[in-house]
Homo-oligomer: A and B are copies of this chain.
Amino acid sequence: MSKDNFLDATLQIINVGLESFASDLKAFGTEVIHVDWRPPAKGDPYLNTILKAVESRGEVIDAANKVAIERMLAAHPVFVDVGSALETIPGFTPKTILHAGPPVTWENMCGPMQGAIIGALMHEGRATDEAQAREAAASGEYTFAPCHHYDAVGPMTGVISASMPVIVVEDKNTGRRVYSNFNGEGKGKKALSFGAFGPDVEEIQVWLRDVFAPFLKQVVYALGGIDLKAIMARALQMGDEVHNRHVAATSLLVREIFTAMSMVKVQPNDLVRIGKFLYYNDFVFLNFSMAACKLMTLAAHDVPNSTLLTAISRNGVETGIRVSGLGDRWFTAPAPQIKGLYFPGFTADDANPDIGDSAITETAGVGGFALAAGIGLVKMVGGTAVDAIAYTKEMGEITLARSPMFLIPVLEFEGTPTGVDIRRTVETGISPVINTGIAHRKAGIGMVGAGITRVPMECFAKALSAFADRPARG
């Protein structure tokens, strides 16, 4: 082939497989023939049987998914209140302790989750040291339950005890409420949410409870609510993917808080610390984002025959998912390790497996699904801008919709890929991508890095088997 001939000919490329690569080429004006074919479920005979069984109900499922995804997209989360977990979350008792992920007993919890519960028991005045706390936790005196079972979410260990303050997020349309705790520590290692405990951690918890939460309660009452969906939409145009990058959303939140300053009473000394806290902690918005995403996914839950994913959650031992048409069952698999970047002095050997309720953001179509909007995050979790864009495009292969409100500038303002259809996940072998913090595997240490992981495909295989009324494999 001579170069002259090559240049004379019209450049034509045949693209087999992912459509996203084809789209990239199209953007540069190259003519592309896209052949959309892969062996379903990578040729796995068991999964193909399940897929075929589900396929026979295709029309019913499609109609159910349409209802479910419309509900997810219509939900409109607004931050409306602040209060103690005990007084605010329905069903909470003085002896309730919530945690991230699917159910797990004290004995089977990972190190950081035990660490956070030790910190919580000290905070509740039930223990003064680690040994006493471990004894109390193992005594049976406390009820441990997933946050999700209380319409709540918490990042990393997700531990919420009775006197901790929580934020209340309400659906503007339906009035339904969900809850999350406060992010008190930013990116620092010594965070309760990452399994740290001790005097420094307790000092922050006390300040959150006695100063920051009451201040924010005044603010939200003065403003009559803060529209979280609007903040998220703007933040996605400002380099946040609203799971692990929140600098824009937190800044926008502070701008709203500022408008209430003429209406709140606060001691000058407290205001000094509130100012510093809101200035240095770019993660303040994380828990608001998670609550908003929980509200969106909850709105889509419990639609009969829907294969829409409505929760991804990890307790540090297992990753579990929930599916709209499959009620409150968890479909679990061992939690994976995370590929990421570590703080100086730490390595992958220190890392706990994937943990936290924060993958509710990916479930709602942001976080890892919106990495093309939050390219700056690759500096924290590793990878390149090209990788970030590719993740978002790949998630388009397994989702039911593009968000009409959460738009991605670099993709010509296309909406974030939203609402995973578990059929598509099994069929394509593409599993939802999650970007996440990494906790030290031992209790009492805290954050050691951040990175990227995937939901184990086994969760989807189990869920789709249940959907097909077939026994799970193995």
Contact = CB atoms under 8 A, between A and B. Distances in A.
Interface string A226-252: 000000001001111000000110011
Contacts of A239: 237-239, 248, 409
Interface string A314-329: 0000000000000000
With most chain B CB atoms within 10 A of its CB, the pick from A1, A239, A240 is: A239
Instruction: Please tell me how many copies of the chain the complex holds.
Output: 2
Nearest to A240: B238
Contact of A385 (B254, B275, B410): B410
Contacts of A379: 413
A275 B261 contact: yes
B251 A276 contact: no
Contacts of A24: 28
A132 interface: no
A131 interface: no
A108 interface: no
B3 A1 contact: no
Contacts of A385: 409-413
A258 B237 contact: no
A252 B280 CA distance: 11
Interface in A234-285: 234, 237-240, 247-248, 251-252, 254-262, 268-269, 271-272, 275-276, 278-279
Interface in A1-59: 1, 3, 5-7, 9, 12, 14, 21, 24-25, 27-28
A128 interface: no
A14 B3 contact: yes
Interface in A137-196: none
Contacts of A225: none
A445 to B, nearest CB: 30
A375 interface: yes
Contacts of A14: 3, 7
A385 to B, nearest CB: 5
A411 B389 CA distance: 12
A260 B269 CA distance: 12
Interface in A313-353: none
A384 interface: yes
A385 B375 CA distance: 15
Contacts of A21: 28
Given A238-B248, A239-B237, A409-B376, A272 B279 contact: no
Contacts of A257: 258
Nearest to A7: B14
B255 A251 contact: yes
B234 A255 contact: no
Interface in A379-410: 379, 384-386, 409-410
A278 B261 contact: no
11 contacts: A238-B240, A238-B247, A239-B239, A239-B409, A257-B258, A258-B278, A259-B276, A259-B278, A262-B271, A379-B413, A385-B412
Identify the 3 closest CB pairs spanning chains A and B, nearest first.
Answer: A251-B251, A259-B275, A375-B409
Given A238-B239, A255-B255, 4 more contacts: A248-B248, A251-B255, A385-B411, A410-B410
